[in-house]
Structure 1
Amino acid sequence: MLKKIALLIVGLVALVPACGLLGYAIGYLIAMFVFSATLEPHTYEHDRDLFAAIYGIMFIGGFLYAVAAGFAIFRFVRSFRKG
């Protein structure tokens, strides 16, 4: 039982940077379409980074973490019910 709890905690901690980086990457991909590279590149590069950091990490990464953590907790609780 202690091993299952430790694995859950390690898994939840490992999900934080993974979801953050994945959220940033997805946010940056979206920002490439929102802020066109044909306009002033120096200005829009900062806007892309800001967009990816705010929307990508906060919203996309946060949603991914909530879903993944919910699924991990669901599997954890289900493993105790099985025996």
Structure 2
Amino acid sequence: MMYGWYGGDWGIGAWIVMVLVMVLFWGGVVTFVVFLVRRPPGGSVTHLPKPSHHDAELILNERFARGEIDTEEYNARRVALRRT
């Protein structure tokens, strides 16, 4: 009997199964690596801090000091910032 590349009873079905298993294996490896890379360090979800009203008021004060806005606009914007 000759058992070589083509001598067994596996046929084309074995090749299809091998390809499917290989695609599943490498897909799992790639998914795992992407999961590790995209996960934040320490396992916790980090959120960007919200900009505070203090920063907006500083910008408003600077614009008023440079003369870009007048007193009425300054007061209206400051009231609007403190309202939200």
The interval holding the TM-score normalised by the smaller chain is 0.3 to 0.5
Which structure shows the higher helix fraction?
Answer: 1
TM-score (norm: length of structure 2): 0.35
TM-score (norm: length of structure 1): 0.35
Q: Which has the bigger relative contact order, CA under 8 A and spacing at least 6?
A: 1
